[in-house]
Each structure stands twice: as structure tokens, then as C-alpha cells.
């Protein structure tokens, strides 16, 4: 196990060493969002070396490069990727305000109590202006932990849905390679991002809350399918019983049957009061056992990597198409014909 990234955690020092804010570094250009500092790929071997020694600062820096998809980030990921694939990746999703962050904080404490190390990737809807995350969430979470076994990282979505899953994956693999036992992905809970992100997680928790009016309506189409566990948070509020009944009915009616014979449990929690957390952690561990025993772990891993490769190939082909649009004089000629309203010639040219 020498040189294995998984050993890195033993050497962790607890420091407030988030990456410096604001643009910096000579190479920080338009492609680098604020908050990221681009490093020279030549510095990567040293960075990876310090990463493997468990230096948090090296982890932070690597994450920044990976998130910004810099050449250094790609190179670091290549080096670290073989050490990944061992963490239990848990997705936490559900509508904004459902209590995801609060619940994640509770789960961190619970898993730390069980001797697990935990990293969190909080995917935040952020203004493109700051490129940062919802500060409230981050500060709230950071304040709780000066614990070396916990690492929290916020990620901006930057409205980039297609790229979100892949960027998240890079972050998750990096944290995994660093040696965290559990990597939690907290999603924004809007749009398709949760479906995307669920593909990266081995276990996905879908949060619902009672008292949102017509509860059934609150569940977006297709969302139920991504859930391995349903969590009714804010169960301290009225209506939890009805919601549970409705959800159970939806699971039955939808014929929802994840592969491998797993029965999606419906759990009740009050993240605010810290109730039901142990049961939830047990259920998540139960799902992990199920994954490992039934071969489902490997199947999901395959599906995730296939998705990754497909995204990669798609991206390359699109880049080629873009180049064609920009660099091909025939394309300009075609456009000129169209501008002249010469449809017949344009079509003739485009099909030859």
C-alpha cells in the first residue's frame, strides 16, 4: 500500500486552508473562474506527492485544478484516479430548503462517531459573479468542523449542466483518492442536475418534506427512480404520516424496482432536532452492503464510467464540429449563399 492515496488521511492536519479567493497566478485567464488559481502542469508531480502524504492544502489545490479542468487538473487526476473507486459515494438530493445541508451535517457527525472519515461536495447554485457557493451553507458547515476527518468543498454550478456531472465526478474521485471513507454529494435540487449527479453516487437519498401542499405534485417526474432511499425530513412537522403513505403508494404504483431486488425504504428524520439520523445511517450502510453483496456496486461503477467515456467522446466530437464551423472556408461560402437567399446552391453545396 506504499504510496497509496488512501493512507493520506492518517497524516492530516486540521487547518483552515481553503484555496485563496480571488483570481491569482499568471495563468489565470478567462477560462479560470474567480476563486481558482491555475498552476503549471510541471508542478503536478510535487502536488501529487504532497497529496499522497495527506496534506490538506495539496488536496484543496488539486480540487481547484480538477474543478476548473486545467491541464494540471487533468494530469493530477490521471495520477490519482487509480487510488479512487473505494469511497462510498452518497448523493443527497431534494428540493431547496428540504434540509439537505442540515441533514448532511448530522450525517457527518454520525459517521464520524462510527469512525468514518467524510468528505462533502456541495453543489451550489451560484452567481456567475462570484463563482463561489452559497456562503451560508459553506460557513455553516465549515464552522462545525475543525475535524481532520471531515472535508467540505463547495462547487459552483455555473449553469453548466452537462459539465456538472463530469466536474463533480472529478472532485469525487479526488476526494476518494485522498482516502475519505464516505463522499457525500449535496445537490441543488433543481433541474436535471440531481439525476446527473445521482449517476456518480452509489447510494442516492431523496429528501421530501411534509406540508408543501400537494405532496405528490412536489415530486418531479423521473426523480423517484434515482432514489435508493426516500427520506422524509422535517418529520417534526405535521403531515409526515400522509407523505409517507403517498410515497409508499407512488413506489408501488410506479412499479419502482431498482435492480438487484432492493426495496427502497422510506425513513423519517428531523435534521433540525437530530432525530432518525442513526436509523438513516444504518439504512445507508444497509444499501452499501446490498451493493457489495449483489454485484450492484460493480454494475453502477461500470455505468458511471461508461457515462464518463460517452461524455468524453461526445465532447471531442462536438469540439471537432465547432472547429469545422470556425475554420472551414467552405462553411463560410455556404453561409454567404444562404445570406444571399440562394437556398438551392447552399443546399447543393452542403450535401456534396
Interaction site with Mg ion (CB under 5 A): 100-101, 137
Q: Report the candidate in 303, 200, 216, 223 with the shortest Cα–Cα distance to residue 259.
A: 303
Which of ligand GDP, Mg ion, none is residue 84 near (CB under 5 to 8 Å by kind)? none
What residue is closest to Mg ion based on CB?
Answer: 101
CA–CA separation, 352 vs 348, rounded Å? 6
Cα separation, 105 vs 144, in Å, equals 8
Residue 97 interacting with ligand GDP (CB under 6 A): yes
**306 grid coordinates:** 461508461
| Cβ proximity to ligand GDP, 203 vs 233, nearer residue | 233
Question: Counting contacts by CB under 6 A, is residue 208 touching ligand GDP?
Answer: no
CB 128 within 8 A of CB 30: no
Considering only residues 215 to 234 of the shown chain, the ones binding ligand GDP according to CB under 6 A are 233-234
When CB distances to ligand GDP are compared, the closest residue is: 99
By CB under 6 A, residue 204 contacts ligand GDP:
no
With cell 502524504, the residue in question is: 53
Long-range CB contacts (within 8 A, 24+) of 236-244: 236/270, 236/272, 236/273, 236/275, 237/209, 237/210, 237/211, 238/210, 238/211, 239/210, 239/211, 239/215, 240/210, 240/268, 242/210, 242/215, 243/208, 243/209, 243/210, 243/215, 244/268
Residue 173 to residue 63: CA distance in whole angstroms: 10
Nearer to ligand GDP, 92 or 183 (CB): 92
Q: What's the closest the beta carbon of residue 288 comes to ligand GDP, in angstroms?
A: 23
CA–CA dist 154, 132 (Å, integer)? 8
Site for ligand GDP in 264-283 (CB under 6 A): 270-272
DSSP 24-69: BSTT--TTS-TT-B---GGGHHHHHHHHHTT-HHHHHHHHHHHHTT
11 or 97: CB nearest ligand GDP: 97
Q: What is the smallest separation between the CB atom of 293 and ligand GDP, expressed in angstroms?
A: 31
Whose Cβ is closer to Mg ion: residue 182's or residue 184's? 184
Which does residue 270 bind out of ligand GDP, Mg ion, none, counting CB within 5 to 8 angstroms by kind?
ligand GDP
CB of 272 to ligand GDP, least distance (A): 3
Grid cell of 121 as nine digits: 461536495
Query: Which of 65, 102, 157, 174 is in the footprint of ligand GDP by CB under 6 A?
Result: 102
| Residue of 237, 260, 342, 345 interacting with ligand GDP (CB under 6 A) | 237
Is residue 238 within the footprint of ligand GDP (CB under 6 A)?
A: no
Q: Which of 38, 101, 202, 203 binds ligand GDP (CB under 6 A)?
A: 101
Binding site for ligand GDP (CB under 6 A): 96-102, 233-234, 236-237, 270-272
Amino acid at each position: 500500500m506504499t504510496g497509496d492515496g488512501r493512507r493520506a488521511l492518517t497524516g492530516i492536519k486540521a487547518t483552515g486552508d481553503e484555496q485563496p479567493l480571488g483570481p491569482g497566478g499568471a495563468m489565470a485567464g478567462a477560462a479560470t473562474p474567480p476563486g481558482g488559481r491555475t498552476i503549471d502542469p510541471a508542478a503536478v508531480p510535487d502536488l501529487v506527492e504532497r497529496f499522497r502524504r495527506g496534506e490538506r492544502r495539496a488536496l484543496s489545490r488539486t480540487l481547484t485544478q480538477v474543478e476548473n479542468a486545467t491541464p494540471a487538473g487533468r494530469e493530477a487526476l490521471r495520477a490519482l484516479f487509480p487510488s479512487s473507486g473505494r469511497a462510498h459515494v452518497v448523493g443527497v438530493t431534494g428540493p431547496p430548503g428540504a434540509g439537505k445541508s442540515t441533514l448532511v451535517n448530522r450525517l457527518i457527525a454520525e459517521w464520524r462517531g462510527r469512525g468514518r472519515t467524510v468528505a462533502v461536495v456541495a453543489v451550489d447554485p451560484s452567481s456567475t459573479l462570484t463563482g463561489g457557493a452559497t456562503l451560508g451553507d459553506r460557513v455553516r458547515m465549515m464552522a462545525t468542523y475543525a475535524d481532520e476527518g471531515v472535508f467540505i468543498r463547495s462547487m459552483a454550478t455555473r449553469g453548466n449542466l452537462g459539465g456538472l456531472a463530469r466536474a463533480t465526478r472529478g472532485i469525487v474521485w479526488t476526494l476518494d483518492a485522498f482516502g475519505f471513507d464516505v463522499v457525500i454529494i449535496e445537490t441543488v435540487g433543481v433541474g436535471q442536475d440531481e439525476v446527473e449527479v445521482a449517476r456518480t453516487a452509489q447510494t442516492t437519498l431523496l429528501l421530501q418534506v411534509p406540508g408543501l401542499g400537494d405532496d405528490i405534485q412536489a415530486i418531479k417526474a423521473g426523480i423517484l427512480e434515482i432514489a435508493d432511499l426516500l427520506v422524509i425530513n422535517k418529520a417534526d412537522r405535521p403531515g409526515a404520516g400522509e407523505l409517507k403513505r403517498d410515497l409508499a403508494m407512488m413506489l408501488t404504483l410506479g412499479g419502482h424496482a431498482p435492480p438487484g431486488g432492493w426495496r427502497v425504504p422510506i425513513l423519517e428524520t428531523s435534521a433540525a432536532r437530530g432525530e432518525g439520523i442513526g436509523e438513516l445511517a444504518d439504512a445507508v450502510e444497509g444499501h452499501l452492503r446490498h451493493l457489495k453483496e449483489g454485484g450492484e456496486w460493480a454494475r453502477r461503477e461500470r455505468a458511471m464510467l461508461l457515462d464518463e467515456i460517452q461524455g468524453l467522446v461526445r465532447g471531442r466530437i462536438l469540439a471537432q464540429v465547432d472547429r469545422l464551423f470556425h475554420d472551414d472556408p467552405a462553411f463560410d461560402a455556404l453561409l454567404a449563399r444562404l445570406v444571399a437567399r440562394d437556398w438551392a446552391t447552399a443546399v447543393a453545396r452542403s450535401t456534396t
